[in-house]
Structure 1
Amino acid sequence: MSSDDEREEKELDLTSPEVVTKYKSAAEIVNKALQRVIAECKPKAKIVDVCEIGDSFIREQTGNMYKSAKKKIERGVAFPTSISVNNTVCHFSPLATDETVFEEGDIVKIDMGCHIDGFIAIVAHTHALQTGPITGRAADVIAAANTAAEVALRLVKPGKKNKDVTEAIQKVAAAYDCKIVEGVLSHQMKQFVIDANKVILSISNPETRVEEAEFEENEVYAIDIVASTGEGKPKLLDEKQTTIYKRAVDKNYHLKMKASRFIFSEITQKFPLMPFTARALEEKRARLGLFECVNHDLLQPYPVLHEKPGDIVAHIKFTVLLMPNGSDRITSHPLQELQPTKQVDDPEIKAWLALGTKTKKKGGGKKKKGKKGDKVEGSTEAEPMDATNDAETQG
């Protein structure tokens, strides 16, 4: 039995090809789901309908996988599709009764995740509802978030520390005269854990402290960058907008209300570990029951935060595997054409962007053909996003 346990333990790690395959399969599905959602973001379309399209696509695609596996494999939505517009920062995934629609010119942030057997792939992308290049401050803030994400990709590697990344992304945002939004964290991810212990702060300040951590080979991270043309200090305007929650597995409390017990039982059964949306629950009882669950810390809410009206917020998030041959970004989507008003002239930022994401093998010369696995490894080269090319050539 101990050898089985050891095998099980080993399979939780990127050293297992099966685990890497599950991450990449989840990534392929969420990338396609994102593409589908972007296509549905049109003026006058209801935001809730498009969120549902994203979640349904992920459920449908994952449902077709591992059907014949001997052991039941959990799979599906790892983070509900949320679509936050303009000065709304994140987590807007409204209830079915919500009538909010897209308008021409909206700056749309799409955030979503998929998992297979608990191996999670997350992505967030910023898209403008317009034809032609994105210009002005909207282009600045999207370029700031994207370039900061590119820099983070190159600095999240074995031997580097989380504080190195925090300082770098703030410097990038400043180059575009934008702010990195406070309170957004990049997390290490593990099987069934979307927010593991190693954390990268977006902004270092006295109120928010995390333990210094060094990145290690075979770890997985969700790199989460949110930039704003405003102050970067978002506020919760309406608690009723919060619809995304996650079960706090380390907390227990005997709920008093029948509605709360009913909802909590449903959550424990359907969403024991992953974030979920209140839309997926028995909605009549949900609001009342969720309130008591949150009050007693049984659920962790993902609040809908806002910058000031007129501010523009951009969001880029991707999943990166720290493989032995370098960093492998497995989720992303190309940006629209950007024409920012600012240029990246800072030599340090240019040096970061020039860093490779692959680990050079010692010995030089031609790579031997070797084992079958080499070919798969070679396919993990991270493609630079469009706006980074812009940032580098403009600088």
Structure 2
Amino acid sequence: VDVNEVAAHYTSPPNDVEVIPTASVVKVDIGVHIDGYIAATATTICFNPEYLSLREATIHALEEALKIVNTGVKVSSLGKVIEETIKRYGVQPIRNLTGHEMSRYAIHAGIHIPNVGLMNGSKIEEGKVYAIEPFSTTMEGYGEVENGPSGYIYRILKDKPPKGGEEKILFNVLREKFRSLPFALRWALKVSPVKDFRRVFNSLLQSRHIYAYPVLVEKKRQPVAQSEHTFIIYKGKVEVTTI
């Protein structure tokens, strides 16, 4: 759940007491999997009428991109449609956030689908899974995100565990549970078999066995909206797997 200028990679830490502020722009970004086969979707709830155009722009841009997507379509063509649609609402796309290909147990794999009309020769392929996710911000924004604090969402980074001790025990539990998929700190805490979880987990971060995703924040701290669907092309037909 990402609020206002936060575009991605925030989730509540353990014992979180924060509440969503009044008149916020709230992104709800959800990913699920069955045996590693992933579907991701996102929507924006706008509690401030001033920023409704941000939400509507991403919804319409996603719809327009899905209308033209098919086998062999260049991702640059999708980016051009997304950018043009968003700008018609008097707002702008986030240039350095993209949609992406997904594979089994890998939420980011292969090609990216830009939200602007960049020169890119990559094409959509039959049988592969992709997420299109337009992001928008105000014209007062910079139109890009930057790294904020990290420490909310993680993933396993290395294949081999540490040599021994509680670090090895915790690493093996997390790898078996989450494999290469992202996970929240509160999820890790629930399955942890070690008593001093924080110390052991921080040790795995320092040894780069675990990666911490940075929170992504609009550079001028302007509100951001997002919409997302997952699709696969099978026998020439686009199948959207999310609602």
Does TM, scored on the shorter chain, surpass 0.5? yes
Query: Hey, what does 2:176 align to over in structure 1?
Result: 269
Residues 79 and 116 in structure 2, CA contact (< 8 A), matched pair in contact too: yes
1:232 to 143, 157, 165: 143
1:159 to 60, 72, 75: 72
- Work out which of the two has the higher radius of gyration on C-alpha atoms and give 1 or 2: 1
Question: Which deviates further from its counterpart, 140-149 or 183-192?
Answer: 183-192
Q: How far off its partner does 1:173 sit?
A: 2.4
The one-letter amino acid paired with 2:99 is S
| 1:96 aligns to 2:3 (yes or no) | no
| 1:176 aligns to 2:85 (yes or no) | no
How many aligned positions are there?
Answer: 237
Q: Percent identity?
A: 27
1:307 to 200, 218, 227: 218
Q: How far off its partner does 1:106 sit?
A: 1.8
Question: Which deviates further from its counterpart, 88-97 or 275-284?
Answer: 275-284
Q: How far off its partner does 1:161 sit?
A: 1.1
Q: How far off its partner does 1:312 sit?
A: 1.5
The one-letter amino acid paired with 2:228 is K
Query: Hey, what does 2:121 align to over in structure 1?
Result: 212
Q: How far off its partner does 1:86 sit?
A: 1.2
Q: How far off its partner does 1:259 sit?
A: 5.2
Q: How far off its partner does 1:124 sit?
A: 0.6
Q: How far off its partner does 1:140 sit?
A: 1.6
Query: Hey, what does 1:187 align to over in structure 2?
Result: 100
Alignment of 1:30-179 (within 5 A): 83-129=1-47, 135-136=49-50, 138-179=51-92
Residues 179 and 231 in structure 1, CA contact (< 8 A), matched pair in contact too: no
Question: What secondary structure is seen at the aligned counterpart in 2 of 1:170?
Answer: helix
Residues 182 and 202 in structure 1, CA contact (< 8 A), matched pair in contact too: yes
Question: Which deviates further from its counterpart, 226-235 or 105-114?
Answer: 226-235
Higher strand proportion: 2
Q: Deviations over 1:107-154 (max 9, x none)?
A: 21001111122221211110124xxxx633x11211221122112212
Q: How far off its partner does 1:325 sit?
A: 5.2
| 1:247 aligns to 2:156 (yes or no) | yes
Q: How far off its partner does 1:226 sit?
A: 1.5
C-alpha change, 1:303 and 1:324, in structure 2 (3 Å) is same
**CA distance in 2: counterparts of 1:84 and 1:125, whole angstroms:** 11
Query: Hey, what does 2:228 align to over in structure 1?
Result: 317
Residues 27 and 226 in structure 2, CA contact (< 8 A), matched pair in contact too: yes
Question: What secondary structure is seen at the aligned counterpart in 1 of 2:134?
Answer: strand
Question: What secondary structure is seen at the aligned counterpart in 1 of 2:228?
Answer: strand
The one-letter amino acid paired with 2:224 is V
Which of structure 1's runs of 4+ aligned residues deviate more than 6 A? Answer: none
Q: Extract unaligned runs of 5+ from structure 1.
A: 1-82, 333-395
C-alpha change, 1:325 and 1:87, in structure 2 (3 Å) is same
Q: Extract unaligned runs of 5+ from structure 2.
A: none
The one-letter amino acid paired with 1:246 is R
Question: What secondary structure is seen at the aligned counterpart in 2 of 1:158?
Answer: coil
Q: How far off its partner does 1:193 sit?
A: 2.7
Residues 70 and 236 in structure 2, CA contact (< 8 A), matched pair in contact too: no
2:240 to 306, 324, 329: 329
**CA distance in 1: counterparts of 2:164 and 2:142, whole angstroms:** 41
CA RMSD of aligned residues (A): 2.8
Q: How far off its partner does 1:194 sit?
A: 1.9
Residues 259 and 286 in structure 1, CA contact (< 8 A), matched pair in contact too: no
Q: How far off its partner does 1:269 sit?
A: 1.9
**CA distance in 2: counterparts of 1:232 and 1:263, whole angstroms:** 40
**Greater relative CO (CA pairs within 8 A, separation 6+):** 2
1:202 to 112, 115, 125: 115
Using structure 2 for the length normalisation, give the TM-score: 0.83
Residues 7 and 145 in structure 2, CA contact (< 8 A), matched pair in contact too: yes
Query: Hey, what does 1:80 align to over in structure 2?
Result: none
**CA distance in 1: counterparts of 2:232 and 2:147, whole angstroms:** 33
The one-letter amino acid paired with 2:215 is V
Using structure 1 for the length normalisation, give the TM-score: 0.53
Question: What secondary structure is seen at the aligned counterpart in 2 of 1:306?
Answer: strand
C-alpha change, 1:181 and 1:291, in structure 2 (3 Å) is farther
Question: What secondary structure is seen at the aligned counterpart in 2 of 1:281?
Answer: helix
Residues 86 and 136 in structure 2, CA contact (< 8 A), matched pair in contact too: yes
**CA distance in 1: counterparts of 2:80 and 2:211, whole angstroms:** 28
